[in-house]
Structure 1
Amino acid sequence: MLPSSLSRLKHSQSGNFFLFAGPCVIEGESMALAIAEKIVNLSDKYAIPYVFKGSYRKANRSRIDSFRGIGDEKALKILQKVGSTFDIPVVTDIHTEEEAFLAAEYVDVLQIPAFLCRQTELLEAAAKTQRWINIKKGQFLSPQAMQFAAQKVVDSGNDQVMLTERGTTFGYQDLVVDYRGIPLMQQFGYPVILDVTHSLQQPNQTAGVTGGLPQLIETMARAGIAVGVDGIFLETHPEPAKALSDGANMLPLDQLDHLLSRLSTICQIIKSF
């Protein structure tokens, strides 16, 4: 049975936005539990339904020497422990059909990376696990095209679908968010999430390490809430400069309280209209 906070996602317009948040990648158990505890306390403070996010393995890296994980089984068991310790749902990303069935044993939501959102066999395998499926919009796709990715999951016997906006390629080293895409994707009948940290990435840097604009995280998130997005996705870390993956666009954990306070206030104002 899915946690109650997940069963409410389809009806998120009646309350606060929901939050997917956590580190880019699982670096260790103590780190994951500490981040989760902090965010759980904040989500309770602001009445925000919360899903812990963490990659158990990173597959899409610019360089072969980039950090990719501490080991699949070890990281998945940490994700499972986070969920059971705090009684919260957990999401992780998958890259192959085999990974779908492996990860589904440990987490509640399977996430399809943006570069893989058109992979039919991956979407079919994810659907068959009967977990919630969060599909990130490809940087190369229009919002309207995401209806076909979602339909693949539905046609495979699973209507528990979410769609995530994470920016559109703008030149070689930048992304932009077209906020018109949020209501356009909501028309398909699925919760829509705004990934405010990956939308601020600056990929394809000459050093082979992705850059970012984390100082604009609040700006990006506030705009998304104002437009009426159902959920916010963000990556956070106690010390982003020391993070083993994607530190350049993560939110420092000690800034999350301020951000959630602002977003909750904006959300309540918007819903009062």
Structure 2
Amino acid sequence: MQSVDVAGVRIGGDAPLALLSGPCVIENLDLTLRIAEYLQRLTEKLGVGLVFKASYDKANRSSSHSFRGPGLDEGLEILRRVKDEFGLPVVSDIHDISQVAAAAEVLDLLQIPAFLCRQTDLLQAAARTGKPVNVKKGQFMAPWDMRNVLTKLAEAGGDKVLLTERGSSFGYNNLVVDMRSLALMREFGVPVVFDATHAVQLPGGAGDASSGQREFVAGLSRAAVGMGIDALFWEVHEDPDRALCDGPNSLSLDSLEGLLTQVLEIDRLVRTVNRV
């Protein structure tokens, strides 16, 4: 199992569990910095490697009237502030080849959204930057189909890759998680991330927006860590019920320490058992 270094945060191999976390979308500078500061202090206290996540643009919202974020230029500048003020590596979604060059100047990890995981040109443009790439498995994809994604990246020189599970479509407006997919994707020899907050999303479940069931995030997180994943992905907010994007499936900041402490204990137990 290879490990991937994201600006000093090592994910995979024999590294302990890491965390990719932040608000779903950049709502404004002040909120983003407050969340980044909280996460930086918490993960430093618990000894967890953190990659800060926030989207500068949510291009796949259910409605054209939904809040998308500040856009590429302003969003990247805010993420640069996070890096400069808190020393955190940052990740955000890229949606189009035209965004890749500018994003790669700021981001330490380029993320391919689930709906775009088969877009060959986007994947290979990201790989050619030399930056690590995190690809979210599409809700419509089998875990073994992600081998083709890895091949596309490798053909463009991409050898620093994370794969993220975020659930599979199960009928209309619903997702389920097949925990076997976490083990199956790790067999490819790359680190695997579990996106626990998007896994409880109900896509389009609110008609003109997605809904979610955040009450299941903790249980699914514990189960995924028990399967031996390399990192967790949590979207968080000061007040999820008032978040401008994905509030129903986001965690509140005050719930994080207890849950993170639990999953770190599970991670240590799993790694001890695997060494025996």
* TM-score, with structure 2 as normaliser: 0.95
Which amino acid counterpart does residue 7 of structure 2 have in structure 1?
Answer: P
Q: Which residue of 2 aligns with 1:3?
A: 7
Q: CA deviation at 1:15?
A: 3.6
Task: Encode CA deviations 1:6-29: one digit per residue, 9 max, x unaligned.
Answer: xx2242xx2420100000001111
State the Cα deviation string for residues 221-268 of structure 1 (Å, max 9, x = none): 000000001100010000011111111110011101111011111111
SS class of match (1:70): coil
| SS at 1:204 equivalent | coil
Contact 1:124 1:152 in 2 (8 A): yes
Give 1:3 deviation, angstroms. 1.7
2:161 corresponds to which letter in structure 1? V
Aligned length: 269
Q: Which residue is 1:54 aligned to?
A: 54
Find the aligned partners of 2:205 and 2:261 in 1 and give their Cα distance.
34
Q: How does 1:88-127 map to 2 (within 5 A)?
A: 88-127=88-127
Matches of 1:61 and 1:152 in 2, distance apart? 27
Pick which of 71-80 and 164-173 moved more: 71-80
Corresponding residue for residue 215 of structure 1: 215
Sequence identity percentage? 44
In structure 1, C-alpha distance between the alignment counterparts of 2:102 and 2:181, rounded to whole Å = 32
Cross-structure match for 1:192: 192
Structure-1 residue corresponding to 2:169: 169
RMSD of Structure 2 on Structure 1 (CA): 1.2
Distance 1:44 1:2 in 2: 16
Deviations 1:106-165 (A, max 9, x none): 111110010100000000111111111000001011000001111211110120100000
In the TM superposition, residue 175 of structure 1 has moved relative to its aligned partner by: 0.4
Q: Where do 5+ consecutive residues of structure 2 fail to align?
A: none
Q: Deviations over 1:79-126 (max 9, x none)?
A: 111012111210000111111112111111110010100000000111
In structure 1, runs of 5+ residues without a counterpart are none
- SS, match of residue 67 in structure 2: coil
Aligned: 1:79 with 2:79: yes
